[in-house]
């Protein structure tokens, strides 16, 4: 469903993503791991269509369409959902209302009727229950004053409501306590099926014990330097990036 060919991208003339190729098929779970500053978040920004990042080369097709030619909202409506490493706070915008508007935009896009606040309440309540989120997060402003973990849960809440075709989770585990991580992983797993795809960006194997990836990719210096199966994460955990990356360079 997602095909990335030789993507390079950067910021103010500086190349950060330097030739990423990656194919994700329906039903697959991929994990991207890599040291700080290797370009993981930048990669998600480029996927989302952030205007500050320039695509310098390569192409991305998403379900047959040219993703790079689409606006951020068109990408969202086409079923791409990217959870943020640092979710943005929006004081003054009610969380439930925001999510209802996002949901209704999707319904409209698919030619369906919008839901009213009451109907939406039922939907969001059931999703919040699964994630063990308190009702009070409906009344609060979007991410405003949320703790690190609460913000991450709120991202996953959006994901479970919007039911995207392809989800990219950028360090969803950072900030979550052990119990919350299990709950969140559970929520993510529930959503996955044969028709959907998932990219999990993380530093730790722990999350991957709960969300089991079919493929693991190591990103370093804006490039995928190694790809493998789930066992690559264990290897990484054992030897660390330095040795793993040196090893993989030797292999090349």
Partner 1 sequence: MSNSEAQTEIGQDAAILECHKKFLGSKGFNPILSSLNKQSILRFESLGIPHGKHEMFTFVDTKGLIQIVSQGRRERIGTVSEDIINRNIYPGCEKSIIVIVDGFYVKSLSNIRGAGNSVHVMNIEKAVSDINLNRYLLNIAERESDVFSSINGAFFTGGIMIDIANDTNLSTPLQILHISTSPVEEPAMITPRIVLRAGNSSSASVIVKYIGTAGDYLVNSTMDVMLEDGAVLKLWQVQADSPKAWHLSKTHVQMSRMSKLGTVLAYSGCKIARSNFEVHLSGEGAELTLNGISVLCENEQAHSYIRVYHEAPGCISNQLFRNIVKGRARTSVDGTVIVREGAQLTCSEQLINNLVLSDDARADTKPNLMIYNDNVKCTHGSTAGSLDEDQIFYLRTRNFTEVSARALLTASFAKKVINSIDYPPVAEEVRDILLKKLET
Ligand X SMILES: Nc1ncnc2c1ncn2[C@@H]1O[C@H](COP(=O)(O)OP(=O)(O)OP(=O)(O)O)[C@@H](O)[C@H]1O
Tell the smallest beta-carbon distance from residue 249 to partner 1 (Å). 35
Among 30, 40, 75, 138, binds partner 1 (CB under 8 A): 75
The piece of 36-44, 111-119, 187-195, 242-250 that touches ligand X (CB under 6 A) is: 36-44
Judge contact between 208 and 185, C-beta under 8 A. no
Backbone angles phi, psi at 36, to 5 degrees: -55, 135
Pairing of strands 53-62, 65-66: antiparallel
- What are the CA-CA distances from residue 142 to residues 49, 54, 87, 238 (Å)? 21, 28, 9, 39
Residue 239 phi/psi, 5° resolution?
A: -105, -15
- Residue position matching structure tokens 């469903």: 1
70 binds partner 1 (CB under 8 A): no
Of 33-41, 91-99, 116-124, 237-245, the window that binds partner 1 (rule: CB under 8 A) is 91-99
Q: Which of 141, 4, 185, 190 is nearest to 80 (CA)?
A: 4
Please identify, among the stretches 23-31, 44-52, 173-181, 243-251, the one whose residues bind partner 1 according to the rule CB under 8 A.
44-52
Q: Which does 124 bind (CB under 5 to 8 A by kind): ligand X, partner 1, Mg ion, none?
A: none
**Alpha-carbon torsion 149, 150, 153, 159, what sign?**
negative
Q: Cβ closer to ligand X: 20 or 124?
A: 20
Residue 11 interacts with ligand X (CB under 6 A): yes or no: yes
Q: Contact letters (x/-) for ligand X, 49-88, by CB under 6 A?
A: ------------------------------------x---
Stretch that binds partner 1, among 12-20, 92-100, 199-207, 238-246 (CB under 8 A): 92-100
Rounded to a whole number of angstroms, the minimum distance from the CB of residue 168 to Mg ion is: 12
In a 3-state reduction of DSSP, which class is residue 170?
A: strand
Rg of the chain in Å (alpha carbons): 18
Strand partners, 81: 167
Q: How far apart are alpha carbons 184 and 161 in whole angstroms? A: 14
50 vs 203, beta carbon nearer partner 1: 50
Nearer of residues 10 and 133 to Mg ion, judged by Cβ: 10
Name which position in 31, 38, 83, 85 contacts Mg ion (CB under 5 A): 85
d(CA 244, CA 122): 48
The site for partner 1 (CB under 8 A) is made up of 48-51, 71-73, 75-77, 81-82, 84, 87-88, 90-93, 98, 101-102, 105-106, 109, 158, 162
């Amino acid at each position: 469903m997602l095909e990335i060919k030789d993507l390079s991208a950067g910021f103010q003339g500086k190349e950060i993503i330097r030739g990423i190729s990656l194919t994700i098929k329906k039903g697959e779970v991929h994990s991207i791991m890599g040291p700080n500053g290797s370009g993981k978040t930048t990669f998600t920004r480029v996927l989302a269509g952030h205007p500050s990042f320039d695509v310098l080369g390569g192409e991305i097709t998403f379900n047959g369409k040219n993703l790079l030619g689409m606006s951020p909202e068109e990408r969202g409506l086409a079923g791409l959902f990217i959870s943020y490493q640092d979710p943005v706070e929006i004081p003054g915008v009610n969380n439930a209302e925001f999510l209802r508007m996002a949901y209704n935009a999707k319904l409209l896009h698919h030619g369906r009727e919008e839901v009213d606040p009451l109907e939406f309440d039922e939907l969001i309540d059931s999703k919040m229950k699964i994630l063990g989120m308190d009702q009070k997060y409906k009344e609060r402003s979007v991410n405003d004053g949320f703790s690190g973990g609460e913000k991450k849960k709120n991202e996953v809440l959006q994901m479970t409501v919007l039911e995207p075709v392809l989800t990219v989770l950028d360090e969803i585990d950072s900030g979550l306590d052990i119990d919350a991580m299990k709950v969140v992983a559970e929520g993510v797993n529930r959503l996955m099926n044969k028709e959907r795809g998932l990219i999990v960006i993380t530093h730790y194997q722990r999350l991957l014990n709960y969300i089991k990836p079919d493929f693991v990719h190591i990103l370093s210096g804006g490039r995928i330097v190694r790809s493998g199966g789930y066992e690559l994460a264990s290897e990484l955990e054992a030897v660390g990036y330095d040795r793993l990356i040196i090893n993989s360079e030797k292999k090349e």
